[in-house]
Amino acid sequence: MLNFDPDRFTRIQTGALALADDLGDALRRCLDDGAANLVLTGAGGVQILMQPAFQLLRTRSTFPVHYEMGAELVRTDSVHLTDRSIVLLPSLSGTTAEAIEVVRFAKSKGATVVTLTGHADTPIADLADRNFTNFAEDDTSAEMFYLLSLVAALAILDHRDELEDHAGTIGELKRLPERLLAVKAQFEDRAHELASTYRNEPYLIVTGAGSVWPEAHYYGMCILEEMQWIRTRPVHASDFFHGTLELVEKDVSVLVLQGEDACRPLTERVVRFLPRVTDRMEVIDTAAFELPELSTATRALISPVLLATALERLSAHLEQVRDHPLTTRRYYKKLDY
């Protein structure tokens, strides 16, 4: 596979899942101590990766859960953020200014702050009441944060008797890293084809729904826009027919991300419509990946993980065919703003 170290990838994802038991125990202790709600927050793209866990808890648990844009939370406050809140915040670098600000704000309210970081001995790791660090970098972090936030959500569901076979699900997740390697291998040729298709794309629409909508949003904003400077319009599949469809013409490219949860019919509707107006539709469907011995229920939970691991291959090929390194920036961390 192009510019890819399988041992490094497996080591990082295995390391993340090795934190599952301790992270779950930490959240269970918070619940036992009388926590009243969970607040998922952060800054930038990594915060978006918390959304599948938020959706899971919002739809399957009666435990109150809130998803807050960190920069807004600091400025507006929230009646839900109290000394009985658990705040879960991810940060790859552990140094992002907006994330540091929201950690300090949450602690000023007396909340218990649990952080997930890719680097230890950083301000965010040091400020937290509990920090869980697993070394990662940009090309491996999406899967890691999806999985760790999922582990957190599953622990809460299990503690409240709102989940069947928690141990079985965690067991499947711990065996996932090798299966993710297989997904990358299955997608490699397609990734090269898509990179060739999108190498000079002036405008790209990316859509998804349910647990994979955050991946459409994240990949469009943090990879295609930030790292490749491709003008991109992420739009939720349920909103596609409320405006965006009017911009689709024969030569307009649309990338549809499909998962395996209850919201799949929303993207299927988009897939049925698009061939009538454009010949530039591409679909990446997690159901196409061969994942032996993985239950249907777990596949639905990890759809965004599967897409993140496949799209990393697209990123690697885009970097090559466009001669545009993923690390190249004009403004990010280069100017004060």
pLDDT along the chain (337 residues), means of 10: 97 98 98 98 97 98 98 98 98 97 98 98 98 96 98 98 96 97 98 97 97 98 98 98 97 97 98 97 98 94 98 98 97 87
Q: What is the pLDDT of residues 50-76, one digit of tens each?
A: 999 999 999 999 999 999 999 999 999
Q: What is residue 336's three-state secondary structure?
A: coil
Taking a C-beta distance cutoff of 8 angstroms, is the pair 73, 98 a contact? Answer: no
Domains 6-173 and 188-321 share a fold: yes
pLDDT, position 285: 98
Distance CA 93, CA 135 (A): 10
**Distance between CA atoms of 315 and 219, rounded to whole angstroms?**
9
Residue ranges per domain, the chain? 6-173, 188-321
pLDDT for the residue 334:
85
Q: Which pLDDT score is estimated for 226?
A: 97
Q: What is the pLDDT of residue 291?
A: 94
> CB under 8 Å to 329, separation ≥6 — which residues?
226
Phi, psi of 234 (to 5 degrees): -75, 130
CATH architecture of 188-321: 3-Layer(aba) Sandwich (3.40)
Using alpha carbons only, what angle is made at residue 36 by residues 34 and 39, rounded to the nearest 5 degrees? Answer: 125
**Integer Cα distance of 215 and 52 in angstroms:** 9
Instruction: Return d(Cα 160, Cα 303) in angstroms, integer.
Output: 24
Per-residue pLDDT at 292: 87
Beta-sheet pairing, 37-40 with 85-91: parallel
Contact 38, 65 (CB under 8 A): yes
Does the domain formed by 6-173 have CATH 3.30.450.20? Answer: no
CA distance linking residue 178 with residue 105, whole number of Å: 39
**Helix 176-198 and helix 6-18: axis angle, to 10°?**
130
For 74-124, the pLDDT digits (tens) are 999 999 999 999 999 999 999 999 999 999 999 999 999 999 999 999 999
At 7 the pLDDT is 98
pTM: 0.97
